[in-house]
Structure 1
Amino acid sequence: MSETLSLDLLDRTAGEIVAALAAGQASALDLTDAAIARIEDRDRAINAVVVRDFGRARQAARAADVALARGERTPLLGLPMTVKESNEVEGLPSTWGSPAFSGWVAPRDAVAVARLKAAGAIILGKTNVPPFLADWQSTNPVYGRTKNPWDLGLSPGGSSGGSAAALAAGMTPLEFGSDIGGSIRVPAAFCGVYGHKPSYGLVPTRGHAPPGLDGGPIALAVVGPLARSAADLDLALGVVAGPEPHEAKAYALNLPPPRHAELADYRVLVLDQHPAAATDHEIRDALDALARRLDDLGARVDRSSDLLPDLAAQHAVFSALVGAAMSRGSPGGTTMNAHEWMNTLDAQVMFCRRWAVLFASFDVVITPTFGVVAFEHVDEPDGARRILNIDGQATPYFNQIAWPGVALLPNLPATAAPIGFTRGGLPIGAQIIGPYLEDRTTIAFARLLEREFGGFKAPPALT
């Protein structure tokens, strides 16, 4: 097979690549070699794939070719891909962007990584993150700075910024990240790709923890896929979702199908304002345009509802919960006594119930993923002193966690999808929030938007 054909295949969706491999149009080894060559070429400027495992990837590709020749077929057989650095991959370092963990090597695969491999995926390496996954940039003292393929002077987002940058730059057709404060959805929006935050607990998080820790699930935290198409999100979710192995002996996952097959049948609530976070007018304009187009197609589109939970009150509960979850072990971290923690969890349950009531009348809620598009790299070490300029006003940097938090506190699925571009040509993303455990509805809605209005476009420098 020609090198040109292998490179062309890399720009197709993961599902199309798997189908091409199954049809004998390419070999897994040739495709893996092409992916490696592209990483070595394009990543010099971007610095997204910071842990490389090319030798073992080639071995896995040879094994995949043997399996393909035997007629074996699995959902990702022969597909080269990367995963976020914080996901444990046996034999590879996992530092979470901190020098304190330099030299730590994972003794086993994370549950989700093991499922990707069992489905036939070939792990090329791991992608960059900020220290302790606590930023919407992907810069750290271990691996350096990852840059946005749309503009090297801009952040690719975080904490799965290396994931989104590698996807947008065509270095990988599929990625696997994590999200506790927008870490899948914000990078997807900044780089113009797709990302899915699963319903809490849908995908096991074991093997995604600071090095050396192996305890229970972290409140709010999820792991999930990023891709260049909504269909690939569904493909990957089907591979990784399901109970922990020790629980699977008692029950199996049976996700409900999407609520509807056409956009015209959806009941949609579109929100563009949050009491805790400002939103740039170009993002609000893009959401307005999307709402009008959905209305023109026959969907029922509302811009407000009395059923919407109090977002300010919800954000206060979310801030307490995420503060405790993210700062565990830090000297100045958020602390609360056991009864305060229980009261916070009770408040979380109340909001989960309110959202369930709303989703009896609506199918999806569309909001900004973040209040701005990709911003210039920020080097200010003190997060409290960082600002984002939104429509000429200086706003606190971390206020923006409010938009990702809309779906996080009530444990809801949320799919990030590109919906347009700024006048300056940068991607604009939205998040599609759906009912708990109805992940296939939000992904299907994103897929319908992609069909009707278009989806991922490669950055100009790469076309």
Structure 2
Amino acid sequence: MDPTFLSATALANLVRTRDLGALELLDHYIARVEAHDSRINAVVVRDFDRARARARALDSQADKSAPLFGVPTTVKESFDVQGLPTTRGHMAMKDKPVGMSSIAIRRLEAAGAVIFGKTNVPVDLSDWQSYNPVYGTSSNPWNAAHTPGGSSGGSAAALAAGLTGFEIGSDIGGSIRVPAHFCGVFGHKPTFGLLPNFGDPAISSAAGTDISVIGPLGRSAADLAVALEVMAGPDPDETALTLNLPAPRFTGLKDLRVAVWADQPGQATDAETAAMLLGLADGLERQGVTVSRTARPEFDPTEAYHLYLRLLDAGWSGRMTDAVVEAKRKRLDVLPDSDTSADAIMLRMLEVTHRAWLGLNEQRFKWRRTSTAFFQEWDVLLCPAFGTAALPHRQDGEPWQRRITVEGQDIAYNDLLFWPGLTGGYHLPGTVAPMGVTRAGLPLGVQITGPLYGDRTTIAAAALLEKAWMGFKPPPGW
């Protein structure tokens, strides 16, 4: 059996039943990286020798019951792995190995995963693409002229191309969900705070970042479910609390209550994406699913989106250097009052007071409760993961300077934050599953959102869609 495109759960079972050794499986993926990664530049940090030593140790271990036992795994470059650098795209960090692995890495290894490399990201994890001065540009295995997304772009590309068995990424503005959508794989953005990620104290934020989460990517919904059980739970360094997530609220398609939000006036979504989502709704309805194409949470979508943008900019302001802040101040000085782009809304947060932020946060929690009420009536909300399929490579200027065209409409590059932000900004879980392929041959994903701590519900819905609609398909030529 060729293991290349199997799910992580299937790979673990092969090792557990001794159909393949952990070292044999690892060498299979290492050989694929060495033979094929030059086409997409996804696995940019390689830790093959240590991984082989770990795989040999696992092969000699009698107890092989761990859920990810022997699964060759790569992780997003921003995770701290002891002995490897964490650069986030900055050349100054290239030769500085960290001294402690992130909690997520430790939990993956305790679950039997064999980490053998790290995958590419944009500088400071802040782009729809994945390129940086340290490791160069990653490409989409479906079409190398297009990006695999950002900021977990190398993660999704490596999975889609069959260069790894499992991946983890992070998400503040779609950084798991958009690459999963661009590359045709599964991805899960958890409920905020559910998966801790403190790493090396020398470089890791002790407080974390508002909205930002970590989560899994895989080639099946089952991979996401296993990873959730492995990685979720309070920070073990700080608390002895345990986690008890609610079970999915349905057992099959006919129990499922689905709201579908295919497009939004004033927010660019290409027609093919919206049509494919409505086609999915029709297909689910024919299979007995309760579907509404009009049900929405009771808030103004534009106001909710703009609030997310303000909170997003405030959240990641802690990462900004003094030089970046000064450059933003100069842009703000000449910003026209008429500019309502995403970048302009975020830029105006530069001098916000803490009292003003508390008011924004209060409104966020009010609308979060509105979403909670909505999900008492509906199990999940299906919407686009992003407004378009995978974007062509763009490295001209800063992201805030770029323009793109969607359905003939010229918009700012970052105005595509609407679909990732509408749910992510309110701390809700969101799972992306493959939905189809465009006429141009690029994958499209559906975003499945649910209530706070409804992570098992959104992943279970993805599993139902995987069986009833479509699952992972390898890109042609891989």
Which TM bucket (shorter chain)? over 0.9
Q: What is the identity, as a one-letter code, of the residue corresponding to 1:382?
A: E
Aligned to 1:397: 413
Q: Of the candidates 261, 270, 281, which is equivalent to residue 280 of structure 1?
A: 270
- Rounded Cα–Cα distance in structure 2 between residues aligned with 1:66 and 1:147: 38
**Which residue identity is paired with 2:290?**
R
Q: Is the 8 A contact 1:90 1:108 kept in 2?
A: yes
Tell me by how many angstroms 1:453 deviates.
Answer: 1.5
Task: Determine the structure 1 residue equivalent to 2:22.
Answer: 28
CA contact (8 A) 1:87 1:208 kept: no
In the alignment, structure 1 residue 220 sits paired with structure 2 residue 211: yes
The answer to whether 1:88 aligns with 2:59 is no
1:169: which partner in 2? 161
**Which residue of 1 is the match for residue 433 of structure 2?**
417
Shift of 1:300: 1.3
SS in structure 2 opposite 1:295?
A: helix
- The answer to whether 1:451 aligns with 2:467 is yes
Distance (Å, rounded) in 1 between the aligned partners of 2:45 and 2:377: 46
User: What residue number does 1:268 align with?
Assistant: 258
Distance in structure 2 (CA, Å) of the matches to 1:306 and 1:121: 40
* Equivalent-residue separation in structure 1 for 2:36 and 2:17 (angstroms): 29
Secondary structure class of the residue paired with 1:189: helix
Q: Which residue of 1 aligns with 2:51?
A: 57
Counterpart CA distance in 2 for 1:131 and 1:216 is: 21
Match for 2:230 among 222, 232, 239?
A: 239
1:338-367 residue CA offsets vs partner (Å, 9 max, x unmatched): 112211211111111010010111110011
Shift of 1:275: 4.8
Distance of 2:402 and 2:251 partners within structure 1: 43
Overall identity of the aligned pairs, in %: 45
Matching of residue 312 in structure 1 with residue 302 in structure 2: yes
**Gap change, CA 1:133 and 1:442, over 3 Å in 2:** same
Q: 1:71 to 1:103 in 2, by over 3 A?
A: closer
For residue 178 of structure 1, give the secondary structure of its aligned residue in structure 2. Answer: strand
Q: Indicate yes or no: 2:180 matched with 1:188.
A: yes
Q: Please tell me the residue identity of whatever aligns with 1:266.
A: L
Is 257-266 or 411-420 further displaced after alignment? 257-266
Structure 2 residue 342 is the aligned partner of structure 1 residue 342? no
Q: 2:424 aligns with which of 408, 415, 428?
A: 408
State the SS of the aligned residue for 1:448: helix
- After superposition, the Cα gap between the structure-2 partners of 1:208 and 1:87, relative to the gap in structure 1 and judged at 3 Å, is farther
Shift of 1:326: 2.2
Q: Does the C-alpha gap of structure 1 residues 434 and 237 become closer, same or farther in structure 2, counting only changes over 3 Å? A: same
Q: CA deviation at 1:306?
A: 5.6
2:291 is paired with a residue whose SS is strand
TM-superposition CA deviations, 1:60-105 (whole Å, max 9, x none): 10111111xx134111111111000000000001000122433222
For structure 2, the residue ranges without an aligned partner over 5 or more in a row are 329-349
Q: C-alpha distance in 1, partners of 2:112/2:179?
A: 26
Residues 149-178 of structure 1, C-alpha deviation per residue, up to 9 Å, x if partnerless? 001000100000000000000001210000
Whether 1:106 and 2:98 are equivalent positions in the alignment is yes
State yes or no: 1:321 paired with 2:337: no
Number of the residue aligned with 1:441: 457
Q: What is the rounded CA distance, in whole Å, between the counterparts of 1:369 and 1:345 in structure 2?
A: 24
Shift of 1:208: 8.5
- Going from structure 1 to structure 2, the CA distance change for 1:124 and 1:335 (only over 3 Å counts) comes to farther
Between the aligned partners of 1:443 and 1:169, the Cα distance in structure 2 is 23
> For the residues of structure 1 that align with 2:302 and 2:390, how far apart are their CA atoms?
25
Change (3 A) 1:352 1:10: same
Contact 2:69 2:113 in 1 (8 A): yes
d(CA) in 1 for partners of 2:368, 2:200: 25
Query: How far apart, in 2, do the equivalents of 1:259 and 1:123 lie?
Result: 34
Asked if structure 2 preserves the Cα contact closer than 8 Å seen for 1:420 and 1:428, the reply is yes
Counterpart of 1:9 in 2: which secondary structure?
A: coil
One-letter code aligned to 1:360: Q
Give the aligned residue type for 1:258: P
Distance apart, 1:392 and its partner CA: 2.0
Quote the Cα distance in structure 1 between the aligned partners of 2:197 and 2:423. 18
Question: What is the total number of aligned residue pairs between the two structures?
Answer: 452
Instruction: Give, in whole Å, the separation in 2 of the partners of 1:364 and 1:370.
Output: 17
Cα distance 1:183–1:306, how it changes in 2: closer, same or farther (>3 A)? closer
Q: CA RMSD in A?
A: 1.4
Q: 1:253 aligns with which of 240, 243, 246?
A: 243
Q: Which moved more, 1:274-283 or 1:292-301?
A: 274-283
Contact kept in structure 2, 1:86 and 1:208, CA below 8 Å: no
Alignment CA distance shift 1:292-1:202 (3 Å) = same
Are 1:302 and 2:318 matched, yes or no? no
The answer to whether the 8 Å contact 2:220/2:471 transfers is yes
Aligned residues of 2:308 and 2:426 also touching (Cα < 8 A): no
Name the SS of the counterpart of 2:39 in structure 1. Answer: helix
Tell me which amino acid in the other structure corresponds to 2:145. Answer: G
Secondary structure of the structure 2 residue equivalent to 1:388: strand
Specify the SS of the correspondent of 1:236: helix
Task: Give the distance between the partners of 1:306 and 1:173, measured in 2 at CA.
Answer: 37
Match of 2:388 in 1: 372
SS class of match (2:477): helix
Look up the equivalent residue of 1:150 and give its one-letter code.
W
Does the aligned pair in 2 maintain the 1:264–1:294 contact within 8 Å?
Answer: no
Displacement of 1:294 after TM fit?
A: 1.1
Distance 1:120 1:276, change over 3 A: farther
Contact 1:76–1:121, Cα closer than 8 Å, also in 2: yes
Alignment of 1:137-156 (within 5 A): 137-156=129-148
Secondary structure of 1:50 counterpart: strand
- Contact kept in structure 1, 2:268 and 2:409, CA below 8 Å: no
Deviations 1:305-356 (A, max 9, x none): 2644221111111111111222332333534221122112111111110100
Partners of 1:10 and 1:31 within 8 A in 2: no
Quote the residue 2:332 is aligned against.
none
